[in-house]
Amino acid sequence: MMTIDRWRKWSKTEKLIGKNAEIEPSKPSEATFGGFEGSVLAKIPINLCPSGTFSLPEYAPGAWQEDLDRWLPERCLHRDGYEDYGGVGSLWRDFVEWSLANNEVPCPELAFAPLLKAAGWEIVNNMVCGLFLREDLWVLRMS
């Protein structure tokens, strides 16, 4: 109880103010930004058009064509005679993980669907017709 009363009755005294009057508080240093690189995906520049709408830059799908050609046989399957569908999002996440593991620059999400289309894959309702991840085959076999 004494501690609470001590804080309630506290007040500045002339003695303390006079003693510290000549000391000027330090000014805050300039804010610096150091070290954090952030996500590669977060570095996509967004342009503000004169109409006030946002637009994203166009990507040339060919920039990741060689990586896609290596990734497809290694991590994906296409089975003739089956109606297999892989989600664009899950395929893209796996492609990004594979790219990072192989020290490649990851493909932005907005460039992935055009990249698949340029490679000849049909996309319907955000699903890639005839293509899915190899690891998903295990799940299919278990069901």
Which CATH number belongs to the domain containing residue 65 in this structure? 1.10.10
Say if residues 105 and 40 touch (Cβ distance below 8 Å).
Answer: yes
pLDDT tens digits, residue range 67-92?
999 999 999 998 888 888 899 999 99
pLDDT tens digits, residue range 38-68?
554 444 454 444 555 544 455 666 789 999 9
Residue 103 inside a domain? The answer is yes
Strand locations in the chain, DSSP E?
Answer: 47-48, 54-55, 76-77, 85-87, 123-124, 127-129, 132-133
- The residue range of the domain holding 90 is 61-142
Residue 130 inside a domain? The answer is yes
Beta-carbon count within 10 A of 117 CB? 13
5, 7, 11, 17: CA torsion to nearest 10: 140
Pairwise CA distance, residues 47 & 56, whole Å: 6
Tell if the pTM clears 0.85, that is, is over it: no
Between 8 and 108, where is the model more confident?
A: 108
Residue 26 inside a domain? The answer is no
